Amino acid sequence: MNRSFIAYLVASVLSIAVARGQVHADMRPAEQVFKNVQTLKGIPADEFMSTMGFFSASLGISCGDCHTAESGGDWAKYADDSDRKRRTRGMIAMVNLMNKNFFGGQRVLTCYTCHRGSTSPETTPDLTQFYATLKYREPDRLVNPFPGAPDAEQVIDKYIQAIGGPQKLAGLTSLAAKGTFQTFGNPKKYPLEIFAKAPAQRTVIVHQLAGGDSIDTYDGREAWVVAPALLTPLPLEERTGGEVDGAKLTAALTFPGQIKQLLRQWRVGPPAVVDDRDLTLVQGTMNGKFPVNLYFDDESALLSRTVAYADSPVGLAPMQVDYADYRDIAGVKVPFKLVVTWLDGRSIIQLTDVQINVPIDASRFARPGASLGANH
């Protein structure tokens, strides 16, 4: 999935500063939106911020470790140069050159290849890594069908039956929910609302976050995020590329009856054990480039996890959503807890009230005007 709007909000906090007075990122390249962009020119603003998250995760540091100390309270200071920023530009050039000269231009090497969560790449093998209990490694490409695995359609049919059955799901046309939103490491919970209409419209609103409402919307075709000024210098940020695919995936999965039509190139991967639970990996793709990984619990047959990828110039940016606390609402099981994990953060959505097949005004999915301010 896409990065969720929560992921976007945090990524926005870590972004490079924009010229004061800028209202829309639109589809312009990053260097027209942010100051002092030298190496990563020509990419959309949301892809630029995914790249910042990729750097952060690969080196195991926060954005403040690369940007100047003064940037913490001043967006404009994010554009100032530092030794690590200059070093990063050289590393990008080095990795691009190696991929070009040794791998035919394919992106085989990335920051993560060497750093693995450390600012200094390790040069000596660590024996504990070889003999420790193996952890599940998320596949970032379409796998070969696993011998003896069930057909993908069989797994999905069991899920559809477990979540309410095809007839109930066919009658599911809208959802309105209330709950709380919590960021990793912060005990405070913020009020949250979700509005969704079939086949794939969805708006998520977090109230009182950093002085205003933060709104993430997919209107069935396009996606954008609105956030208060304390979280981002851009009151409205467009999503592009894989970010739009991720938004569509999340919105469409609110109405599981259409899951078979959502992806193509279906296949079942090898058995997966995650958090001591046996899961079945079912893969598909939305864009023909990167996989969408769906994990179904072997015991309940319910969807337990999704992992989707957005592209960036330096590597794929994964976003994971874990679904739990399924409750029956008029014959349809709805996950009341969603944990969203991305390259540099995690958030928890806990629903407290869910209503289905209720009227939802079209304005919930309408794009805000150009004069939109920080508070809504």
What CATH number is attached to the domain comprising 74?
A: 1.10.468.10
Same domain for 164 and 113: no
Mean pLDDT value of segment 106-125: 80
Q: What is the DSSP letter of 69?
A: G
**Helices vs strands, H then E, count in the chain:** 9, 14
Residues 6+ apart with CB under 8 A from 216: 4, 5, 6, 8, 203, 204, 205, 223, 224, 225, 226, 247
Same domain for 252 and 207: yes
Domain contains 141: no
pLDDT band at 275 (very low <50, low <70, confident <90, very high): confident
Same domain for 299 and 208: yes
Summarize pLDDT for 309-353 with one digit per residue, the tens: 988 888 888 889 999 999 999 999 999 999 998 887 889 999 999
Contact assessment for residue 247 and residue 121, using Cβ atoms and an 8 Å cutoff: no
- Answer whether 0.85 is exceeded by the pTM: no
Examine the pLDDT at 213 and tell me if it is beyond 80: yes
Summarize pLDDT for 287-314 with one digit per residue, the tens: 888 999 999 999 999 999 999 998 888 8
Predicted confidence at residue 131, as pLDDT, reads 52
Same domain for 45 and 178: no
Same domain for 345 and 199: yes
Q: What is the average pLDDT score of the chain?
A: 83
Residues 6+ apart with CB under 8 A from 160: 166, 169, 256, 257, 259
Examine the pLDDT at 134 and tell me if it is beyond 60: no
Examine the pLDDT at 265 and tell me if it is beyond 50: yes
Highest mean pLDDT among 49-53, 118-122, 142-146, 360-364: 360-364
Predicted confidence at residue 129, as pLDDT, reads 59
Same domain for 245 and 361: yes
Domain contains 142: no
Predicted confidence at residue 374, as pLDDT, reads 35
Domain contains 253: yes
Residues 6+ apart with CB under 8 A from 301: 155, 158, 159, 161, 162
The token pair at 18 is 């924009």
pLDDT band at 23 (very low <50, low <70, confident <90, very high): very low
Same domain for 201 and 97: no
Predicted confidence at residue 294, as pLDDT, reads 97
pLDDT band at 76 (very low <50, low <70, confident <90, very high): confident
Domain contains 145: no
Higher local confidence (pLDDT), 105 or 62: 105
Predicted confidence at residue 229, as pLDDT, reads 72
Domain contains 242: yes
Q: Give the chain's domain count.
A: 2
pLDDT band at 127 (very low <50, low <70, confident <90, very high): low
Examine the pLDDT at 17 and tell me if it is beyond 70: no
Mean pLDDT value of segment 157-181: 97
Domain of residue 164, residue span: 152-365
Same domain for 123 and 197: no
Mean pLDDT value of segment 189-195: 97
Predicted confidence at residue 358, as pLDDT, reads 97
> How far apart, in whole angstroms, are the C-alpha atoms of residue 324 and residue 336?
7
Q: Where does residue 369 rank: exposed (0-12), middle (13-18), buried (19+ CB within 10 A)?
A: exposed
β-strands 317-329, 332-342: how paired?
antiparallel
Mean pLDDT value of segment 109-136: 70
Predicted confidence at residue 10, as pLDDT, reads 38
> How far apart, in whole angstroms, are the C-alpha atoms of residue 251 and residue 216?
11
pLDDT band at 165 (very low <50, low <70, confident <90, very high): very high
Predicted confidence at residue 304, as pLDDT, reads 96
